[in-house]
Structure 1
Amino acid sequence: MTSIPISPASAAPAVTVRRQTTSGRIALTLFAIAILALALMPWWAKTGTIRMVLELCCYIAVAQMWNMLAGYAGLVSVGQQAFMGAAGYAMFVLAQTFGVNPFLAIALSLVVPAVLAVPCYFLLHRLDGPYFAIGTWVVAEVFRLVSTNLGWVNAGAGMSLTVMKDYSAFQRNIAMSLLCAVMILLTIGGSYWFLRSRYGLALIAMRDNPVAAASQGVNVKRLRFMIYVAAAVGCGLAGSVYFMAQLRINPASAFDPMWSNLAIFIVMVGGIASIEGVLIGTAIYFVADRWFGAYGASYFVVLGVMTVLVALYARTGIWGLVSRRWDAPWFPIRRHLILKTEEKP
């Protein structure tokens, strides 16, 4: 048998890797426009609208942080409000007690959840499944009880951010708008960037099968630790921004379990392990809260039943159902191998 010589041209790889899609390019363009629109809100929106959008952005940020924890790292937490409250209190103490510029205090306050997340993780990481979830709730309750008994944060009476009176309404609107843009850019844009990196590949492998991922060289423990700390900082940012807009904080509101409840609802209904699902779920929750929030307990029962139904019959959420029919991701993170077509003479 005679061997057939292979030219260098014919030895070249016959495939190319596609990482972006048409729908992804359109979504990234709209995302950039949305970030710009958020930053320019003082020039096109009223104060009430800005506050409403800020609340919506906080929902998105908290839900995406929970999505990264549960959807990719496999850490189901019901106590992320611990870091929201800790960062919120840190911002109030820095601004109100020590006279730090409140907008600079927001950035400085993020050190607190980052530091607190380290011992919390090493305390909880040995727990698994529901035990981990219960442990995170216990930690949040401990934070609430501690803040209730600390005199230098005014104990259970809470604190007011009276230093904000030094700024005009327009200045506060500018600050809130920029904070909204930065928060969405860091939580949504940062998550997307991370998921498209080599760490994202490891995270997706860990999500699918942690044991198999570890056998292929993925440091599962280190990656889970990184996600836990990053989620704590992201939730802390949302807490600082939210309570700055509220101008008041107390233990009941700072460590309210409702934050974890809404994050779980948003991610479960919208679609776990997808940025698209977070955006869809947040829109559903925000509209439902505005339309049916006045109904009180019955409104929460309906949301709970909806979450259970989705968990039983559509585990991938609304976005999962949509993506089965149309392969048009808004934030594509998969890599596709595309065969090169040979050029004919």
Structure 2
Amino acid sequence: MSMQAPTAWKVETRTRASSIFCLAAFLVVALGFVAPLFLPRSGIQDLFFILTMLVLAQCWNLLAGYAGLVSVGQQAFVGLGAYAMFAVVILFGLDPLVGVVAGGLAAALLAIPTGFFVFRLQGAYFAIGTWVIAEVVRLAMAQVKTLGGGTGTSLPSRAPRDMVGVNLVQNLFGVRSAQAVDILCYWLALALAVASIVFIYRLLRSRQGLGLAAVRDNAQAARAVGVDALKVKAATYVIVAFITGLAGALIYVQKARISPNAAFAVTDWTAYVIFIVVIGGIGSIEGPIVGVIVLYILQSLLADFGSWYLLVLGLIGIVVMLFAPRGLWGLFTERTGIQLFPVRRILTPRQSNK
């Protein structure tokens, strides 16, 4: 007689919903790649905004939602990454794409010394410390006369048009150079968004991800089991700075104009990002995806209402925090149990015939 009995145990993270979503996500990315074939320039610019804000939101979510480091100074990395790109192009005459990489490296280099300062602070003091660093960097960039000082500057007119890949896009789509630059920047934003999500997902499923969650939940208990809390936080802080710097540099390649007040704007690069994560759901990869879609829809609907737009965003944020503390995606998950990026490990019996 054949009987089934659990003979061993296995750890799983993948679910049926996540497997289906993996295929759907691949199709969406493929569709996104060919989007310039059927979308107007304004549509490509909108998608570029969505993707770059998604990257910034995923980075802040990794920092605050998984490492427990609530920063309000992410504009420091956005702005420095953008200014590093401008410096590479204007002062050294290099390709803006080289400047994008330099922007990420510059932001990471800033995170290393400043991390020693902010990690001495806890809670609200940590948040204030990151904002102070951003203001110091903004004031420092305003003194650099070769990059426009306090009024800012523009990229040389030919720099974006001479980027590697622009001629290829022009020949491929038969468009003008300005539109080709938008398409190329959009493709880079799409690649950066996919790469950042995949990286964060793999990180959270690794041993380092377990250590990160342990430090967030209880730093003292994590140290007791051998997790180096300072090392884990510092590594996360530098990684987030690098990706944020890349995104900031790419944003300003597309804008082609920079000023200290714009590049280090707390509203554009931190407040909106926090709104995205809080609305979508902090502590989940799906949350920022939902949140950035909500932000884009609200911007489209409320763009003509001036300052009332920010007021409405604030009211929506308050309502969501009161009735869905884990965000819209958290509320959906509580009701359905569906997770598209499952990171929790489930112990299940492995059946065998006996």
Contact preservation (8 Å) 2:6, 2:350: no
* 1-structure distance, mates of 2:82, 2:9: 51
Deviation at 1:63, TM superposition (A): 0.7
* 1-structure distance, mates of 2:325, 2:233: 23
Q: Which residue of 2 aligns with 1:197?
A: 206
Matching of residues 138-217 of structure 1 within 5 Å: 138-161=132-155, 162=157, 163-166=159-162, 167=166, 168-169=177-178, 171-217=180-226
Q: Which residue of 2 aligns with 1:270?
A: 280
| Percentage of identical aligned residues | 37
* 1-structure distance, mates of 2:331, 2:214: 22
Q: Which residue of 2 aligns with 1:36?
A: 30
Contact preservation (8 Å) 1:78, 1:137: yes
Note the alpha carbon deviations across 1:301-331, whole angstroms, 9 max, x for none: 1211222233333221111111111111011
Deviation at 1:222, TM superposition (A): 0.6
* 2-structure distance, mates of 1:173, 1:34: 20
Deviation at 1:342, TM superposition (A): 4.5
Matched, 1:244 2:238: no
Task: With the length of structure 1 as denominator, give the TM-score of the two structures.
Answer: 0.92
Gaps of 5+ in 1: 1-9
Deviation at 1:12, TM superposition (A): 8.8
Count residues with an aligned counterpart.
Answer: 335
Cα-Cα RMSD:
1.9
Note the alpha carbon deviations across 1:215-274, whole angstroms, 9 max, x for none: 111111111001111111111111111111111111111000011101111111111100
Contact preservation (8 Å) 2:118, 2:129: yes
Amino acid corresponding to residue 206 of structure 1 in structure 2: V
* C-alpha spacing 1:171/1:296, structure 2 compared with 1 (3 Å): closer
After superposing on structure 2, the runs of 4+ consecutive aligned residues of structure 1 that deviate more than 6 Å are none
Note the alpha carbon deviations across 1:159-178, whole angstroms, 9 max, x for none: 21222244524542442132
* 1-structure distance, mates of 2:41, 2:286: 28
Of 237, 242, 259, which residue of structure 2 is paired with 1:233?
A: 242
Matched, 1:315 2:309: no
Contact preservation (8 Å) 1:271, 1:281: yes
Matched, 1:80 2:74: yes
Amino acid corresponding to residue 314 of structure 1 in structure 2: A
Deviation at 1:31, TM superposition (A): 2.3
Amino acid corresponding to residue 245 of structure 1 in structure 2: Q
Deviation at 1:114, TM superposition (A): 0.8
Task: With the length of structure 2 as denominator, give the TM-score of the two structures.
Answer: 0.90
Q: Which residue of 2 aligns with 1:99?
A: 93
Amino acid corresponding to residue 222 of structure 1 in structure 2: K
* 2-structure distance, mates of 1:165, 1:340: 58
* C-alpha spacing 1:173/1:298, structure 2 compared with 1 (3 Å): closer
* 2-structure distance, mates of 1:208, 1:127: 17
